[in-house]
Structure 1
């Protein structure tokens, strides 16, 4: 498994803070679903921590439904935390590493997150931190991109390398499976209420448009095993040709995201 370079994740998302909202269509869809789950769970009392807030879109949705809710927004990337703080001047804001939360034990009634934990290498440890900071009876509501996300791009890239007579190691960061998410929640001590998968899909007019969108939301390759520099022009040409030949739908290129949602609790 390719290890995730935390510093690269931090750098990429800081650089994309200004472009994120313009490119994050799928991420916003996921955030709206998480906000609905929070409302169904009735998170109207007690402080809430959002892990990986990005520009604060999810937090803004939640704050609008629960005026006066004590909300702490956090992100690994300082530019994202700053953007969320400007969006939500009434919220607390901190730069936080999901795998090592600098918060006291049992201080949060709720923890929520959307489209962030796929960038965390040690899920059991990160989920364990959520469990630790939650009060007894508290809830953890989240969504992350799972195994199968951007499979069109991954497959077309591997084929392009093979066509060039090169080995095709998967340098891209792997996304967690539902089984891994379930196991990580259990290892952290959570009572698992429900974990399930849904598919989101967006379409682009060209490969260049898709890659610009990924760059715009900070979703660069953050594997420590990634090769230096960009792929050769010939590989990129083959990549686009493979993508069009295998996946084009009515002249558009699909990008599929497999989203894992979860609701878990800390027993009282």
Structure 2
């Protein structure tokens, strides 16, 4: 079952490769924010890897801030990897199989909007931490439990299942690394607003993030659910809130 799920996730991201950047506004701002957080710390040059790089938003942001350091782009989607420039160092790899065997240990493993798509995210984070060089870093941004309260509220009122992806909890993530190793830890709530809830959900499909392990709703069920979406302000707009966990971990 897990294999079918993983291949569905990969298929969706492959199909979204060409439309990804134009719809990935939250992923872009998160990648830039994570790269800026890294710039306030002295991370040694050497092997830096963007795990689940997609079209390279995080890798580009890191390289722009650290022009003398290249970042390996690693992803399971060939079509995403193909979006990168010829000069980039790329590696096609499925993170569900652990990490590749590199010739040296990484000084930075950076990852944005990826860990929640992997089997057992907590175990993967622990493996990443253990694979670092001494003084190596993990820079992580991931949506966590507490995201999409409006979606859950609408589903509950409509008496339907919320088909949003089950996200890891904050506690489950920080539990797997030594407390003293966490040097930056912040949850940021980002609220997107629009006239209609469909405008907030469509970008998820455009970036390939529509996979869910729950049974899908019919078109009429969706209509029913959307009619219960809470109005969030006096302009009669609706919103979708993300809880994004930013973590900087040093071995």
Structure 2 length-normalised TM: 0.89
2:116 corresponds in structure 1 to: 118
**How many aligned residue pairs are there?**
249
Hey, what does 2:172 align to over in structure 1?
180
Q: Which residue of 1 aligns with 2:196?
A: 206
Task: Give the distance between the partners of 1:190 and 1:121, measured in 2 at CA.
Answer: 26
Q: Distance in 2 between matches of 1:138 and 1:106?
A: 12
- Does the CA contact (< 8 Å) of 1:199 and 1:257 recur in 2? yes
SS of the equivalent of 1:176 reads coil
Residue 112 (structure 1) shift: 0.7
Give the alignment's TM-score, normalised by structure 1. Answer: 0.84
The answer for the alignment partner of 1:218 in structure 2 is 208
Q: CA RMSD in A?
A: 2.4
Query: How far 1:143 sits from its partner (Å)?
Result: 0.6
Following the alignment from structure 2 to structure 1, what is the Cα–Cα distance between the partners of residues 109 and 208?
Answer: 23
* Residues 137-195 of structure 1 deviation map (CA, whole Å, 9 limit, x = unaligned): 111111100111122123212332x2xxxxx4554321111101111334xx9822232
Q: Distance in 1 between matches of 2:208 and 2:156?
A: 22
Rounded Cα–Cα distance in structure 2 between residues aligned with 1:133 and 1:98: 13
Structure 1 unaligned regions, length at least 5: 163-167
Is the CA contact (8 Å cut-off) linking 2:197 and 2:239 kept in structure 1?
no
* CA–CA distance in structure 2, aligned partners of residues 4 and 170 of structure 1: 21
2:82 alignment counterpart: 82
After TM superposition, the structure 1 stretch with the greater mean CA deviation from structure 2, 211-220 or 94-103, is 94-103
1:253 maps onto 2:245 in alignment: no
- Is 1:31–1:58's contact at 8 Å kept on the other side of the alignment? yes
